[in-house]
């Protein structure tokens, strides 16, 4: 079978998995042979790309595929079927969607007013707000900055709980406390600047 063969649904995937060449590539990949893994990836890339296109933004397709290939290589000992690649891809795509949603929420948690007009006063106020926010971050402890940075990078509270070895509710409360403190600091800083 070549990479140009059509793949449609589970029946097409089953055809691939019955192919002796694909079985050989899977076995060699499990054994840690990078060249076999590369061939396997090349063989399935068109189908993987089509599979993920509905899940992520067009500009994120290639990054999502690369992340999937990396995870698949890290879990190569578990690859028993070509369908495993599609399972990993689905999970990577869902992770990306979740990260994007968390990033969007984070942007709402620390809103800055971007200057959309040529209004000089507005630009001055925005610059002050950015300066005050930077001053607030300097005042935070290293752990507090790590918590904010983790959230900004799109990490969910569940993942942050694992990262910081604390219950999810504790991490959420700590983040909310930091957010409230930063907001109060910025408001006070802006009041002093006027």
157 shares a domain with 91: no
Closest CA to 37 of 26, 48, 45: 26
Domain boundary among 62, 79, 102: 102
Query: Residue 5 has what pLDDT?
Result: 46
Report the number of distinct structural domains present in the chain: 2
Is 166 part of any domain?
yes
Residue 2 falls within a domain, yes or no? no
More confident residue, 8 or 143: 143
CA distance from start to end of the chain: 71
pLDDT for 35 beyond 90 = yes
Parent domain of 133: 113-193
Position 14 pLDDT exceeds 70: no
Determine the Cα–Cα distance for residues 68 and 72; give it in Å rounded to an integer.
6
Span 124-147, average pLDDT = 80
For 103-115, the pLDDT digits (tens) are 776 666 665 555 4
Mean pLDDT computed over 137-149 = 85
Q: Do 119 and 174 reside in the same domain of the chain? A: yes
Is 154 part of any domain?
A: yes
Q: Compute the mean pLDDT over every residue in the chain, rounded to the nearest whole number.
A: 79
Q: Is 99 left (phi over 0), alpha (psi -120 to 50) or beta?
A: alpha
In this structure, are 122 and 86 located in the same domain? no
Per-residue HEC secondary structure of 97-137 comes to HHHHHHHHHHHHHCCCCCCCCCCHHHHHHHHHHHHHHHHHH
């Amino acid at each position: 079978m070549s990479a140009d063969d059509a793949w449609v649904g589970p029946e097409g995937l089953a055809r691939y998995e019955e192919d002796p060449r694909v079985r050989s590539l899977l076995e060699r990949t499990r054994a840690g042979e990078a060249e076999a893994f590369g061939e396997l990836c090349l063989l399935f890339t068109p189908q993987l790309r089509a599979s993920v296109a509905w899940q992520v933004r067009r500009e994120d397709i290639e990054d999502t595929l690369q992340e999937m290939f990396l995870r698949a290589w890290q879990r190569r000992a578990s690859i028993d079927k070509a369908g495993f690649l599609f399972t990993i891809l689905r999970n990577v795509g869902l992770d990306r969607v979740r990260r994007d949603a968390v990033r969007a929420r984070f942007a709402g948690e620390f809103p800055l007013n971007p200057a959309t007009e040529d209004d000089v006063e507005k630009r001055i106020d925005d610059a002050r707000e950015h300066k005050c926010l930077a001053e607030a971050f300097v005042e935070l402890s290293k752990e507090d900055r790590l918590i904010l940075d983790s959230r900004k990078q799109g990490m969910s509270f569940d993942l942050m709980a694992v990262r910081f070895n604390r219950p999810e509710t504790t991490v959420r409360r700590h983040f909310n406390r930091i957010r409230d403190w930063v907001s109060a600091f910025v408001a006070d800083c802006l009041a002093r600047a006027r």
